[in-house]
Amino acid sequence: MSKSKRPVKSGLNIIIVGCGKVGVTLIEQLSKEGHDITIIDKNAQKVQEIASYYDIMGLAGNGASYSIQRDAGIANADLMIAVTNSDELNLLCCILAKQVGHCASIARIRTPDYSSEVNYLREKLGLAMIINPELEASKEAARILYLPTALEVNSFAHGQAEMIKFKVPANNVLNGMSIAYLGKNIASDILICAIERNGDVYIPSGNFEMASGDVISFVATRKIAKNFLEEIGFKTHQVKNTMIIGGGKASYYLAKQLIHMGISVKIIESDKIRCEELSILLPKAIIIHGDGTNPDLLKEEGIEYTESFIALTGIDEENILLTLHARQVSNAKVITKINRLAFKDVISHLDLGSVFYPRYITAEAIIAYVRAMKNSMDSNIETLYHMFDHRVEAIEFRVYEPSKVTNIPLMNLSLKKDLLISFISRNGSIIIPSGQDSIQVGDSVMIVTTHTGFNDILDILE
pTM: 0.83
CA distance 379 to 397: 7
* Residue from 52, 50, 57, 61 nearest 25 by CA: 50
Residue-wise pLDDT tens digits, 345-394: 788 778 888 988 888 888 888 988 888 787 654 457 888 888 887 789 99
CB 338 within 8 A of CB 319: yes
User: For residue 290, what are the CA distances in angstroms to 178, 287, 302?
Assistant: 50, 10, 14
* Residue from 356, 433, 293 nearest 135 by CA: 356
Q: Which residue has the higher pLDDT, 373 or 252?
A: 252
Could you tell me the CATH number of the domain that includes residue 267?
A: 3.40.50.720
Of 7-11, 192-196, 345-349, 388-392, the one with minimum mean pLDDT is 7-11
Q: Cβ contacts of residue 186 below 8 Å, gap of 6+?
A: 228, 231, 232
Domain of residue 291 covers 241-356
Percent of the chain having pLDDT more than 90?
A: 67
Same domain, 30 and 106: yes
| Rounded (10°) angle between helices 272-281 and 249-260 | 30
CA distance 313 to 368: 28
Same domain, 112 and 204: no
Of 276-290, 318-332, 348-362, 443-457, the one with minimum mean pLDDT is 348-362
Q: Residue 378 domain-assigned?
A: yes
Neighbours of 231 (CB within 10 A): 13
Of 112-126, 179-193, 220-234, the one with minimum mean pLDDT is 112-126
Question: DSSP assignment, residue 12?
Answer: P
Q: Residue 127 domain-assigned?
A: yes
Same domain, 397 and 338: no
Same domain, 342 and 416: no
* Residue from 423, 260, 370 nearest 34 by CA: 370
Q: Residue 363 domain-assigned?
A: no
One-letter amino acid for residue 335 of the chain: I
* Residue from 460, 444, 450 nearest 394 by CA: 450
- Strands 191-197 and 215-221 turn out to be antiparallel
* Residue from 349, 291, 337 nearest 311 by CA: 337
Q: Residue 54 domain-assigned?
A: yes
Domain count for the chain: 4
Same domain, 225 and 294: no
Residue 382 has a pLDDT of: 83
Same domain, 227 and 245: no
Q: Residue 402 domain-assigned?
A: yes
Could you tell me the CATH number of the domain that includes residue 418?
A: 3.30.70.1450
Q: Residue 453 domain-assigned?
A: yes
CB 446 within 8 A of CB 396: yes
